[in-house]
């Protein structure tokens, strides 16, 4: 065999080896800060939504958010906001971390395990906001939202929606001192004009800065004590900060959620 033929054979074999082990480039996670009104950043089963739906009602201000780390089912993000004006102009934004592609009837779901460790820094004296899970359901799969279930981790001079208010103008709960997921809650019921809203706020006003439990336990209570229908379909599962006025930075150091 000639030297030329041997060299050609070696080069051909080397080419086969290279093609058999292609270099795979990894997609880098977007960790940039985003401030657009409807910006979305995705990671695996999650989407970070800026959701500044009431921005035009503010004198000025904006929300910015970024994913700071992510690994497996765990994710961390930061939200910074500043809103000027008055609180009677309503919510300006609900930047949140959404669990995508949720579905199924409430009666067919067995659990909604979730954990959330967070802190609020640089809060202004005029802040009106909350830190909360926001969960929606509908009577049809993929239909329009009919019920909203809010689980407040913290309340900063805001208030839940209610059908009834006391003489001082404060919302009155439909149930008090309900034990769920390691905390005691007062339950409020009202309407925002589009959805029936159930809100859970800690009875003593304390913050739940490290939640680790099953969000389905709140549905179990609503089913047994408030007549909530198990035929409702889950449409949305989110966690974030609902902002009306003032400024602050929500730092989520660790978060996870799933539906089983």
pLDDT in the model for residue 27: 60
Domains, the chain, with CATH or none: 28-257 (2.60.120.180)
Q: What are phi and psi of 68, to 5 degrees?
A: -100, -25
**How far apart, in Å, are the Cα atoms of 145 and each of 140, 142, 175?**
9, 9, 24
Q: Give bridge partners of residue 200 from the DSSP assignment.
A: 151, 187
- CA–CA–CA angle 141, 114, 122 (5° rounding): 115
* CA-based R_g, the chain, Å: 24
Helix, strand, or coil here: 200?
Answer: strand
Q: What are phi and psi of 37, to 5 degrees?
A: -55, -40
**How far apart, in Å, are the Cα atoms of 221 and each of 147, 151, 180, 225?**
15, 13, 8, 6
- Distance, in Å, from the CA atom of 82 to the CA atom of 74, rounded to the nearest integer, reads 27
**How far apart, in Å, are the Cα atoms of 74 and each of 117, 140, 173, 256?**
11, 30, 34, 5
Per-residue pLDDT of the chain (260 residues; tens, 9 = 90+): 444 444 444 444 444 444 445 444 446 799 999 999 999 999 999 999 999 999 999 999 999 999 999 999 999 999 999 999 999 999 999 999 999 999 999 999 999 999 999 999 999 999 999 999 999 999 999 999 999 999 999 999 999 999 999 999 999 999 999 999 999 999 999 999 999 999 999 999 999 999 999 999 999 999 999 999 999 999 999 999 999 999 999 999 999 999 99
Residue 53: burial class (beta carbons within 10 Å; 0-12, 13-18, 19+): middle
pLDDT in the model for residue 18: 44
Encoding tokens for residue 181?
Answer: 């997921």
Q: Which residues are catalytic?
A: 148, 242
Encoding tokens for residue 86?
Answer: 């008055």
CB-based contact 128:158 (threshold 8 Å): yes
β-pairing verdict for 233-257 and 96-99: antiparallel
Q: How does DSSP classify residue 192?
A: -
Residue 141 Rama label (left phi>0; alpha psi -120 to 50; beta): beta
Q: How does DSSP classify residue 168?
A: T
């Amino acid at each position: 065999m000639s030297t030329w033929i041997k060299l050609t054979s070696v080069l051909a074999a080397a080419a086969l080896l290279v093609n058999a082990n292609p270099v795979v480039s990894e997609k880098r996670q977007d960790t940039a800060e985003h401030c657009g009104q409807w910006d979305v950043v995705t990671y695996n089963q999650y989407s970070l939504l800026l959701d500044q739906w009431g921005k035009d009602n503010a004198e000025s201000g904006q929300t910015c958010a970024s994913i700071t780390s992510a690994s497996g089912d765990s994710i961390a993000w930061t939200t910074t906001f500043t809103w000027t004006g008055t609180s009677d102009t309503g919510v300006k934004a609900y930047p949140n971390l959404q669990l995508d592609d949720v579905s199924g009837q409430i009666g067919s779901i067995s659990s909604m395990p979730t954990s959330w460790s967070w802190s609020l820094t640089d809060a202004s004296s005029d802040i009106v906001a909350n830190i909360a899970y926001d969960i929606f359901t509908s009577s049809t799969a993929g239909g329009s939202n009919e019920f909203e279930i809010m689980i407040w981790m913290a309340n900063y001079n805001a208030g839940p929606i209610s059908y009834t208010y006391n003489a001082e103008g404060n919302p009155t709960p439909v149930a008090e001192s309900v034990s769920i997921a390691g905390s005691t809650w007062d339950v409020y019921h009202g309407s925002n004009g589009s959805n029936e809203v159930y809100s859970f706020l800690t009875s003593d006003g304390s913050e739940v800065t490290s939640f680790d439990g099953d969000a389905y336990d709140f549905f179990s209570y609503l089913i047994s004590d408030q007549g909530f229908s198990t035929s409702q379909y889950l449409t949305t599962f989110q966690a974030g900060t609902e902002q009306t006025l003032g400024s602050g930075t929500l730092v989520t150091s660790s978060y996870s959620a799933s539906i089983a």
